[in-house]
Structure 1
């Protein structure tokens, strides 16, 4: 008996878990809730205090596995779903390759492996993200332990398709070419957060910073908010032999000099 417009207002206040439950009620409620859940996919909201959550990571794994399966099996249906996505907010992603199996099915004892490390020659999360051509907000944090092999085609797809991106929050292990792909239209970016970015983990001499801003800094003409955080100076990780999470002094200076130069160019619009 509740008018349709009030029903939609109520649905828009629900989180993803509640919307997913509503979608399973019947066809009528699925038709009402599905467009909302696909327009704003928010795993960050489900993370609460932001603590590391194995279950939440596996939900994200399932999300990408489902998207990848739909791309292959029901391309027309997938195209309609992908067109709805305007905001995608992800928490920690332990890798970029898509796994179709849960941790239990992989029989893997490592806590951080939910998205398979190998093989790298198949579809990855960036290939799925590139399908969301109406995306205006993306939050992504990749926490991998290995260097990426070539993902040049993924970078091209991201650069070509994400024309409407205005709000970007990224962190973790994302290399220079992918950062440039995500920021292929810096003049559109209004809100930017760069958090603890590294090119690869520091098994020997510490991690390498991702330096990419100088080549595009003059094109940020509409930036309103900016958040930059360098890698925290943590002690050596005893669980992974030799891993270090501090920039060496020269790398840290290079990074801070690039940030200072970037701030000089964008300060007028912030």
Structure 2
């Protein structure tokens, strides 16, 4: 092969790899989104088995909550930890840290993914306009529609963002612990919304699925951008930008002002 044709061949192979990854990313998003669409159709059609499961879980958990004040206190704590106000504070702190460490694109990923998830949830709630569960003695008073659960969607999106951004600086036990805490908190926040009769089970499941689909879509876009820049595609198990581990590590000194920006 001539010297002239080699760069063209490399460019062609890179474009082919980029196209294949883009297709795989799109397939992954669709596979996550399909269950959400199916669940939405069942909710809109008031499918009797799903309605019975929703109402049964609402009534059983509400009766238990009314008889156990300690259980209600734990559920309130979990629910409050996943509120919009809590996530605004957390994401603002994360973005501030990333900007301080000159990781502009990671900060943009956090902002776009977090804000976009909230806007998407509001849009779907407005379109579906499902009433919230009705109980005799309400433990919480929530405004707005019920489907999908904003707390559940924000939990998946928020903890997913934190893991994708900070996995590069976590090793061994700390990585396993962070993943375990994220899973427990996501499940706990979703469960608390049903236990407090703020949502039906199907609302929470829909929030989980929609949050995962949105996170997958944003990760695929970030990965495509990396490939275009000649960097490896995102491997979720390694985080969004594993090469930026030093900048992400709070134990490392601040990068000098004239240092090139990272991701």
Kindly indicate which of the two structures has a greater share of residues assigned to helix: 2
Range into which the TM-score falls when normalised by the shorter chain = under 0.3
TM-score, structure 2 as length reference: 0.22
| TM-score of the aligned structures, taking structure 1 as reference length | 0.22
